[in-house]
Structure 1
């Protein structure tokens, strides 16, 4: 810890010199100083310095293309493995998780964003993992950080996504029919039975869709229905900064620092069906309290 304000003043002047256009230095270098010296301040206040220069754009494009090509290679390899394992459904789930761990970690390494992970001791629970969702990066993080023996739940139309959708089905992950409420409820019941029968964990985005601006959306009730039917604890995963790193509709990945925080498991053993709305609000409020101001839902 510093005993006087001299060090802070020196750093402030140093940062100002980087931001001064007359210095000829890039904003990116100033970002590195801020990330290194005050990462908690950046994440807490969601401070972000944009850099849309052509060099930054080219680097971003190279990273995205490298991610795409790398993912195609690993997807093709694991698709072959899945085909061989068709008679063994549980082993396909396990291999799907291994694919996610390898591919998700590799993609995050290619993108190069600094990542802070808290509460990792909770990521080996057999549980229903939930996460806020505001960026494609969320998918990479979830693939990497959910434990082996976890299945995802997605809309049935995912099967039409090139390569990834077919691998999703081969990995024996679960799909739900959202065409009408009755079909969706029945799909959730089938998913819950499969989870209990095979002693699995679940991962689901309770918002049901991706936030356009990073602010937390209202939660759907599906994760609570699943908890009531499986009695698994809920482990919230709070993702911060991903909406700034890769914005919706953009092909420019920025060097924003990211944070993943696992919260302690929430027991659902004594939950009651008549209090579903209360549980949804409780978990949503918990997320809102953990997120920075710029990611909290507007009143």
Structure 2
């Protein structure tokens, strides 16, 4: 069955304008070069090791190594990291974790915030990336087609159901693309319907501080920022009809966008360009 391209669903709240940060200095550019060197020196041996081990061992067996990799990668970004997890988030409950999307390091920023084993969702075309694509396939990352939403193939749905049956959570990015202006974009509805169909509560994750680290359209890394991961509270999906799921899209986006907008409102150096 071929599904129509999915239409983004905007949540509530006013349009607040694009975030503009100060231009990088010569020191910032030199520091970025050094951060890339440190990051690659960590990423290459760690992902090579995990790729080989994933072919031999179940993913759960490698979770300590996976968490070590994420911890080290965040440290080597020069970021000060902390997590704020709502007390109702159950360590034993699988969730559909839905996170705002800022840059290529989003998954390592959020991973250690909770003890859940999180299986990722990735566009299938990304599996063609040298090195990283090989790692994603070895780890069992679920490949999806762009724009299909809840119309994913039976094989994709079976892969997600198998992860849930193992007690794993799913990590996805409902914006479908990285932010260009520092704000949270419209959420696509597909992952919400999939969560309902799999019997998973939806747990929002809002990460702040990553836009300063790196943003879409630039390879510039900036050290010294504070990255905060806000997790929960979760939203139940059991028994929701389609109309209620559509309402849930806006509710979850409001939670995520609320954290991000409050962060920018008190940011010491950012300014906002009015929406035209």
TM-score by length of 1: 0.72
Mapped partners of 2:184, 2:147: distance in 1: 24
Q: Could you give the per-residue CA deviations for residues 137-194 of structure 1, whole angstroms, max 9, x where no partner exists?
A: 3132134445353211111112111222111111122111237568635455334422
Structure 2 CA distance for partners of 1:217 and 1:187, relative to 1, 3 Å: farther
Question: Is residue 206–residue 231 contact of structure 2 (8 Å, CA) maintained in 1?
Answer: yes
Instruction: Please name the residue that 1:105 is paired with.
Output: 71
Identify, as 1 or 2, the structure richer in helix: 1
Conservation of the 8 A alpha-carbon contact between 2:118 and 2:168: yes
The answer on 1:232 being equivalent to 2:204 is no
Matched with 1:284 is 253
Shift of 1:49: 7.0
Could you tell me whether the CA contact under 8 Å between 1:177 and 1:183 is conserved in 2?
no
Match of 2:244 among 275, 278, 298: 275
Q: Is 1:147 aligned with 2:79? A: no
**Match for residue 55 of structure 2 among 80, 83, 86:** 83
Distance, in Å, in 1 between the alignment partners of 2:254 and 2:79 is 28
Q: What TM-score do you get using the length of structure 2 for normalisation? A: 0.78
SS of the counterpart of 1:189?
A: helix
Q: Could you list the runs of 5+ residues in structure 2 that have no partner in the other structure?
A: 1-17, 266-271
Q: Distance in 2 between matches of 1:284 and 1:47?
A: 18
* Secondary structure of 2:183 counterpart: coil
1:216 alignment partner in structure 2:
184
CA deviation digits over 1:1-49, x for unaligned, max 9? xxxxxxxxxxxxxxxxxxxxxxxxxxxxxxxxxxxxxxxxxxxxx9997
Q: CA RMSD in A?
A: 2.9
Contact residue 159 and residue 165 of structure 1 kept, 8 A: yes
C-alpha distance 208-186 of structure 1, shift in aligned 2 (>3 A): farther
1:168 aligned onto 2:131: no
Higher strand share: 2
